[in-house]
Amino acid sequence: MMTFLSLYARRAAAAVAAPASLARWHGLALAVSLCITPALVAAQNYPARPIRLIVGFAPGGSTDLVGRLVGAKLSERLGQQVVVDNRPGVSGIIAAELVSKSQPDGYTLLISGSSISIVGNLYRNSTFNVQRDLQPLALVATTPYLMVAHPSLGVRNVQALIAYAKPRPGKISWGASAPGAVQHLSGEMFKRLAGIEMVFIPYKGTGPMMPDLLGGRLQVAFDNVLVLTQHVKLGALAALAVTTAKRTPLLPDVPSIAESGFPGFDTSGWFSMYVALKTPPQIIARLNAEILTILGTPDTRERLLALGATPLPGTPDDLRRQLAREVPAWRKVIQDAGLKAE
């Protein structure tokens, strides 16, 4: 009868005689496991330190407001501080590239407005491509844009603006929070449809634009309803129209551009979040689940609605589909209008 020791001896001998390829296979498996284990452990322990949320625009704008709201809620749910870091410049490209080059560990996040689907095609020297350079994390919210005028211009609706502007080509200044943002392209589309010429003044965000707009140095603006509504209600600005097909509940008496003589005009802003490529899928899944949970809470929904935004919770795949629709559509608008920024 074969004893335990003799069986053990035979197996040991067989192991010694095993082909060298088998030994190499075991070595490779061990090396792979040693490489994978730290990443898995890091993902399981995530987050173990504060998280940085990069905003590509100046404080006080719509992207900043939404980012701070989501960041504060994420801090509560993750048990780690989420620090908002404003990095304005080049319509959000500086912030996007910073995140794309960060460590893929889930500790550097980006929140962006819908301009992220545009800027790669607008800037002449840019190599940024959102669909290639960033990992989608979540859709967050959507909001209409508002066309406003300073009261000194003396116009209170779209047709009055057109009547004033047509005999004064190049005499009216207008702005948007950043070149290449949907606000900017919405204004360009309106100008072409209306047959008027106004001089575009670029800004690095809504916050830097507001002093000029409220002071009357900037006469017309297309920007986010989140920020402009409070000034409209105070009488500091005149609301001419919203860019979406439907009116906003915040300003129910303000018509849409489509209602004002341009049927079919319909543009809106949307906010989304990203991480660096190769971020572990477990971390992406965790963050997305937390963000969607936050957007589903009554408190967050009410706070977004108060700002004029509607929650638009979406998975990474939902965001990929959104980009697949928006990027080529805005590319065509840019090409048709002959727009390029330096």
DSSP 173-196: EEEESSTTSHHHHHHHHHHHHHT-
Span 305-329, average pLDDT: 93
| 138 and 276 housed in the same domain | yes
Place of tokens 């204004």: 187
- Model pTM above 0.85: no
DSSP notation for 156-177: -SHHHHHHHHTTSTT--EEEES
pLDDT at 13 exceeding the cut of 60: no
Domain final position from 223, 242, 261: 242
Residue 222 tokens read as 């297309």
Residue 191 resides in a domain: yes
| Residue 6 pLDDT | 39
| 132 and 149 housed in the same domain | no
Residue 49 tokens read as 């330190």
Residue 17 resides in a domain: no
Residue 231 resides in a domain: yes
Q: pLDDT: is 31 or 122 the higher one?
A: 122
| Residue 42 pLDDT | 63
pLDDT at 238 exceeding the cut of 60: yes
Domain final position from 204, 224, 242: 242
Residue 36 resides in a domain: no
Residue 42 resides in a domain: no
pLDDT at 39 exceeding the cut of 90: no
CA dist 99 and 109 (Å) reads 7
Residue 301 resides in a domain: yes
| 156 and 102 housed in the same domain | no
Residue 18 resides in a domain: no
Residue 170: which domain range?
A: 144-242
What is the CATH classification number for the domain harbouring 169?
3.40.190.10
| 71 and 134 housed in the same domain | yes
HSE-up of 225 (CA within 13 Å, CB side)?
30
Residues 6+ apart with CB under 8 A from 106: 43, 46, 47, 51, 275, 279, 280, 283, 284, 286, 287
Q: Of 47, 117, 114, which Cα lies nearest the Cα of 83?
A: 47
Residue 30 resides in a domain: no
| 137 and 165 housed in the same domain | no
What is the CATH classification number for the domain harbouring 118?
3.40.190.150
| Residue 236 pLDDT | 98
| Residue 22 pLDDT | 53
How many independent structural domains does the chain possess? Answer: 2
| 236 and 149 housed in the same domain | yes
Q: Phi/psi class of residue 299: alpha, beta or left (left: φ > 0; alpha: ψ in -120 to 50)?
A: alpha
Contact 113, 144 (CB under 8 A): no
H or E stretch covering 111: strand 108-112
| 120 and 148 housed in the same domain | no
pLDDT at 40 exceeding the cut of 80: no
DSSP notation for 205-259: SHHHHHHHHHTTSS-EEEEEHHHHHHHHHTTSSEEEEESSSS--TTSTTSPBTTT
Span 314-324, average pLDDT: 97
Span 280-293, average pLDDT: 98
| 138 and 273 housed in the same domain | yes
Contact 93, 81 (CB under 8 A): no
